[in-house]
Amino acid sequence: MANSKNLCGKSRKIDNPYAVYKCEHPLFGATEYRVLKTYQKPELEGKNAYARWFVAAKSDCTFGSWDMGDTYIAEIKRAGARLVEASPEFTENYNLGEARLG
């Protein structure tokens, strides 16, 4: 069933993200991405090579502070980031159901 609305389309603060992704980035070291807003419904993101999320990112290169801005979803996935935390809205929006985080 297709979602009728983007449930993650309103901006959130860093301490209350829709989702958290973590990885060992090949260039930036230990990296955490916090998804603060998505711009499209998931079914449209899948058709758009330039789909993006508004994120806060922290890595060894940011010296403990957060960099905020739009990031291509493909870049997060290409870095090997894994979903480690998801809000109920993100879980519903992306049909994660009983998916395990890791």
Q: What percent of the chain has pLDDT over 70?
A: 91
User: Helix/strand/coil (H, E, C) string of 82-96?
Assistant: EEEEECHHHHHHCCC
pLDDT of residue 1: 45
Query: Which run of H or of E encompasses 59?
Result: strand 52-59
Positive or negative torsion for Cα 34, 101, 91, 93: positive
The mean pLDDT value for 52-71 works out to 95
The mean pLDDT value for 79-93 works out to 94
The mean pLDDT value for 63-72 works out to 95
Q: Is the pLDDT of residue 83 over 70?
A: yes
The mean pLDDT value for 4-14 works out to 93
